[in-house]
């Protein structure tokens, strides 16, 4: 397995994984929308995506980071917004390798921390995060305000 930073040249492989990720979170499949969304992230340089490929070069997982800041800490942070491993590649260390790549990247970029959210019922992901030193926030509540 190899992990590398994705480029716009990886759009086809990423689109399939990104669509499967969205379907996992109960969204309807939308390959055209997924491709357009990712293409816009690349064009605007609004995210950092790491791609996991198997020995044959097939894409088997990805993670996407969005840059942000902590005002209190006056430093850069990254939001690990998406992490997905294809069904047939799970339980082989792909998720861990993607987390490691994200962590290394954020450290090298001088970020203060990585942050993520996951569904309450995504116990498999929670166990991976916690096994690798991620800590559940017990100081702050998260709120969302729908605009549309």
| Within-domain flag for 97 | yes
Q: What is the pLDDT along the chain (148 residues), one digit of tens a residue?
A: 999 999 999 999 999 999 999 999 999 999 999 999 999 999 999 999 999 999 999 999 999 999 999 999 999 999 999 999 999 999 899 999 999 999 999 999 999 999 999 888 988 889 889 998 999 988 888 888 889 8
| Within-domain flag for 139 | no
| Within-domain flag for 147 | no
| Within-domain flag for 93 | yes
* Residues 29 and 19 sit within 8 Å (Cβ to Cβ): yes
HSE of 49 in the Cβ direction (CA atoms, 13 Å)? 29
According to DSSP, the residues that pair with 113 across neighbouring strands are 77
Domain count, the chain: 1
Quote the domain boundaries for residue 119.
2-131
Question: Is 0.95 topped by the overall pTM?
Answer: no
């Amino acid at each position: 397995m190899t992990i590398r930073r994705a480029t716009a040249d990886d759009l086809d492989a990423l689109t399939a994984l990104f669509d499967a990720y969205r379907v996992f979170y109960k969204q309807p499949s939308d390959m055209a929308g997924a491709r357009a969304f990712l293409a816009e992230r690349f064009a605007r340089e609004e995210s950092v995506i790491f791609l996991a490929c198997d020995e044959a070069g097939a894409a088997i997982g990805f993670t996407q980071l969005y840059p942000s800041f902590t005002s209190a800490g006056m430093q850069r942070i990254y939001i690990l917004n998406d992490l997905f491993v294809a069904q047939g590649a799970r339980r082989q260390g792909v998720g861990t390798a993607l987390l490691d790549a994200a962590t290394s990247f954020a450290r090298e970029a001088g970020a203060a921390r990585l942050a993520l959210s996951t569904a309450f019922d995504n116990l498999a992901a929670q166990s991976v995060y916690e096994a690798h030193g991620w800590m559940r926030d017990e100081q702050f509540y998260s709120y969302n305000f729908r605009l549309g």
